[in-house]
Amino acid sequence: MDIKLIIDDKEIKAKSGEKILWTALDNGIYIPNLCAIKEMEPPFGGCRLCFVEIELNGEKTMTTACSEPVQDKMRVFTNTERVRRLQLTAFELLMSDHEINCPECLGKENCQLLKIAGFLKIKLKPKRFRKLERNLMVDNSNSEFILDPNKCVKCGKCISESEKQGNKLLTFAYRGIDMIISTFDNMPLAELNKDILRECAVVCPTGALKEIK
Applying CB under 6 A, which residues contact ligand SF4?
98, 100-102, 105, 107-108, 111, 113-114, 124, 151-158, 181, 203-209
Residue 48 interacts with, from ligand FES, ligand SF4, none (CB under 5-8 Å by kind): ligand FES
Contact (Cβ atoms closer than 8 angstroms) between residue 124 and residue 136 = no
Does residue 113 interact with ligand FES by CB under 6 A?
no
Q: Which of 5, 36, 113, 159 binds ligand FES (CB under 6 A)?
A: 36
List the one residue out of 63, 66, 61, 53 whose CA is nearest residue 25: 66
CA distances (Å), origin 94, targets 132, 158, 159, 198, 201: 11, 17, 19, 25, 20
Does residue 116 interact with ligand FES by CB under 6 A?
no
Does residue 88 interact with ligand FES by CB under 6 A?
no
Distance CA 130, CA 132 (A): 6
Distance CA 182, CA 186 (A): 7
Helices 81-95 & 112-120 angle (0-180, nearest 10): 140
Does residue 17 interact with ligand FES by CB under 6 A?
no
Q: Which CB atom, from 19 or from 154, has the smaller least distance to ligand SF4?
A: 154
Q: Which stretch binds ligand FES (CB under 6 A): 39-47, 125-133, 174-182, 199-207?
A: 39-47
Site residues for ligand FES per CB under 6 A: 33-36, 45-50, 64, 66
